[in-house]
Amino acid sequence: MATIVLGVCGSIAAYKAAGVASRLVKLGHEVHCVCTPAALEFVTPLTLMTLSRNPVVTTFEDETGSWVPVHIDLAQRADVLAIIPASANTMACMAHGQCPNALTSLYLAYRGPVLIFPAMNGMMWDHPATQANAATLAAREGHRIIGPAEDGMLACGTCGKGRLVAEDLAVQEILAALPE
């Protein structure tokens, strides 16, 4: 089976990454979660570790168990990198090659398919800077942006675009991106 890295960013939708991880593990895949510091405001490493059955990388301090940094090891072993949910901040870092954390550092070292599942307030998604960053990422070879969902109630109380796509769709897209 495949090795899948789920990059989890700071968004209220971060809890849905746990469900995606659980489904992928039940299908027999090896799942590793790498969280941005902001993601830890929304979901705990213990939850993701339990459901993925692997330690969760949250900081560079988590990389002391081997002489090969974990973000490099995972970048070399992963069959797909799925950023779910992708925040505006992480998308900006990825678009501009900035790597302030373990997830964005792993992204720069990774050379396979990258799936980006945005989730944010609709005004943030529609901002020209976010749209430019999304266009930059979508233009890169092997990159796909899935979502955000077109319409629905957002956690901030507004209705509109910005919600994370359904977990079923996310799992389907991840499976479809795996090498045959």
Half-sphere exposure of 17 (CA within 13 A, CB side): 41
- Residue matched to tokens 């090969």: 68
**Cα gap 2→29, rounded to integer Å:** 5
Residue 159 is among the residues annotated as catalytic for this protein? no
Terminal-to-terminal C-alpha distance of the chain? 10
Name the DSSP letter for residue 38. G
Dihedral sign for Cα atoms in the order 163, 164, 168, 169? positive
User: Looking at 35, 93, 99, 156, which residue is catalytic?
Assistant: 156
Residues annotated as catalytic are 156
